A and B are shown apart, each in its own frame.
Chain A
Amino acid sequence: MKVLEFMWADRFEILQLSAEHIFLVFVSITIAVAIGVPVGILMTRKPRLGRPILAFANIVQTIPSLALFGFLIPLPYIGGIGTRTAIVALLLYSLLPIIRNTFTGISGVDPAVREAARGMGMTDTQILRQVEIPLSLGVIFAGIRVATVIAVGVATIAAAIGAGGLGMFIFRGTSMLDYRVILAGAIPAAFIALAADFGMSALERYFMRERRS
């Protein structure tokens, strides 16, 4: 109960930091979708590009998140201390699941369906927009969901480079050795992750309504 009392006392700061946290995740995921989905589609059209792009995204994913934030700080334009660097780091983390799922989803469309579409006289663009994307929407959405939940977790580290967010509580709590302070950051972060997951699945159901079971 001590934790809840503590959180209630700090509710305004928690709300403020939660808002920063959500902002970081929202902006980076939006950009990651805007880049990742077209890249994933491009990879299905130019298979030669596929391997190097996936390799790059895989390597980024293996860099420990704290190290990635650190690496970005000295870089010009995208680096430095603060929100912008954090968004770039989160964006890089989110790309892999989005690119990979877009690529897998579209490659996974039944070749017979694709051939039927060609046989009907659909152009490549029509096949992509009317057949391949709708049929792989579930897989693409799953990628965005995974990326979002990961980003909510990774965003706690953004506090280390001055980008704010709920990580502020967690870092403060670890240096003070006060579990209440840590939990004041960790509990809302967990809620945001759950809410994002729930929200994404609602969005997915909305787009997939009337679809085959």
Chain B
Amino acid sequence: MQAMPPTQTLLEFRNVEYAIAGGRKLVNEISFEIGQGEMLVLLGRSGSGKTTLLKLANRLLEPTSGEILVSGRNTQTWDPIQLRRHIGYVIQDVGLFPHFTVERNIGLVPSLESWPSEKIAARVRELLVLVGLAPETFIKRYPHELSGGQRQRVGVARALAADPPVLLLDEPFGALDPITRSEIQKEFRELHHRLGKTMIFVTHDIREAFLLGTRIGLMQEGRMVALVTPDEFLKLDHDEARAFAGCLQ
């Protein structure tokens, strides 16, 4: 599909740096904007800084310099708790609480926001249907009673629970077998089109990046070396881009 031009900017990074003790920069001079409904895929090798970049957006990490704007406001002026509830967060496998049922896991943020319990219950059912799981079958199960693919669906449902405008996804499908992975990727793409949420999606899998991304941000050693549409990506004159494109054959 074609890249949509950024309409309303929901998330913006301005000259953001993140250095660890000793001065090594895990994220170096990064600036970009993401508009309403975009899916930006951060592609890069392990240790290229993509997860770090993601965690800067919901203030799990604080930038060393530069600023990050969410819904037009500098994240430093947000209350971090409110900011995180405004942003859905999906991580690989471990993200579900093992001692909560599917229902409590999905209803977590609404319950933190003190929604009335009938409203939470209705929302949980709606979301389970949305991610393709039958509510009656799954609502009372614990995460260990689910398959890997089902757990990731629940993870996506949980991130959507309080209807956040922005979603951050950190290799959400990384631990799945190839067949389940491919199914859930396609479903997830449909879901993204239907909901029109703004998303940042971290992966090291170029196929996944091409399938899902409206734009691809290529990360290398803490820098974003390219930010292009999937079509443009193949024409890039850059070693790292060619290395990734080579994996497509």
Spell out A's residues near B (CB within 8 Å): 110, 112-113, 115-123, 126, 130-131, 134-135, 210-213
A120 touches B142 (CB 8 A): no
Closest CB in chain A relative to B121 CB, distance in Å: 18
Interface pair A119/B58, CB less than 8 Å apart: yes
Expressed in whole angstroms, the Cα–Cα distance for A126 and B99 within the complex equals 14
Given A121-B81, A122-B112, A212-B144, the answer on whether A116 and B99 have CB atoms closer than 8 Å is no
Question: Given contacts A120-B108, A121-B82, A212-B98, are A115 and B60 in contact (CB under 8 A)?
Answer: yes
* A212/B143 in contact, CB under 8 A: yes
Q: Is B173 among interface residues, defined by CB-CB distance under 8 A?
A: no
Q: Are B94 and A112 in contact (CB under 8 A)?
A: yes
Q: Is B18 interfacial (CB-CB < 8 Å)?
A: no
B45 within 8 A of A: no
Contact with A along B84-112 (1 / 0, CB 8 A): 11000101001111110000000011001
Min CB distance B11 to A, Å, is 16
19 examples of A-B residue contacts, CB within 8 angstroms: A112-B91, A113-B94, A115-B91, A116-B91, A116-B97, A118-B60, A119-B58, A119-B60, A120-B85, A120-B158, A121-B82, A121-B109, A121-B112, A122-B81, A122-B108, A135-B98, A135-B99, A211-B99, A212-B143
- Which 4 A-B pairs give the minimum distances between C-beta atoms? A121-B84, A121-B85, A119-B89, A112-B94
Q: What is the interface size of chain B, counting residues whose CB is below 8 A from a CB of the partner?
A: 23
- Nearest residue (CB) in B for A210 is B142
Q: Which B residues touch A116, using CB under 8 A?
A: 89, 91, 94-97
Q: Are A123 and B81 in contact, with the CB atoms below 8 A?
A: yes
Residues of B whose CB lies within 8 Å of any CB of A are 58, 60, 81-85, 89, 91, 94-99, 108-109, 112, 142-144, 158, 168
- Chain A residues near B85: list those with CB within 8 A: 120-121
Q: What residue in chain B is nearest A117 (Cβ atoms)? A: B97
User: Which chain B residue has the least Cβ–Cβ distance from A134?
Assistant: B99
A120-B108, A135-B98, A210-B142 provided; 4 other pairs, C-beta below 8 A? A112-B94, A113-B94, A118-B84, A121-B82
Q: Which residues of B contact A212 (CB under 8 A)?
A: 98-99, 142-144
* B89 and A120 contact, CB distance less than 8 A: yes
Given the complex, which residues of B lie within 8 Å of A113, measured CB to CB?
94-95, 97-98
Establish whether residues B144 and A213, one from each chain, have CB atoms under 8 Å apart when the complex forms: yes
Question: Which B residues touch A110, using CB under 8 A?
Answer: 94
C-alpha gap A210/B100 in the complex (Å):
9
CB distance from B173 to the nearest CB of A (A): 16
Residues in B whose Cβ lies below 8 Å from that of A135: 98-99
Q: Across the two chains, which residue of chain B brings its CB closest to A137? A: B99
In the assembled complex, the Cα of A119 lies from the Cα of B164 at a distance in Å of: 13
**B99: which A residues are within 8 A, CB to CB?**
134-135, 211-212
Are A119 and B91 in contact (CB-based, < 8 A)?
Answer: yes
In whole Å, how far is B245's beta carbon from the nearest beta carbon of chain A?
A: 32
Given contacts A211-B99, A212-B144, contact A120 B94 (CB under 8 A): no
Chain B nearest CB from A141 CB (Å) reads 14
Q: Give the complex CA separation of A117 and B96 in angstroms.
A: 9
B97 contact set on A, CB distance < 8 A? 113, 116-117, 130-131
- Minimum CB–CB distance from A74 to chain B (whole Å) comes to 48
Chain A residues contacting B158 (CB-CB under 8 Å) are: 120
The answer to whether A126 touches B89, judged by C-beta atoms less than 8 angstroms apart, is no
Q: Which residue of A lies closest to B58 (CB)?
A: A119
Chain A residues near B98 (CB, 8 Å)? 113, 135, 212
Residue among A113, A121, A212, A213 with the highest chain B CB neighbour number at 10 A: A121
Which residue of A has the minimal Cβ distance to B93? A112
Q: For residue B81, give the distance in angstroms from its CB to the closest CB of chain A.
A: 5
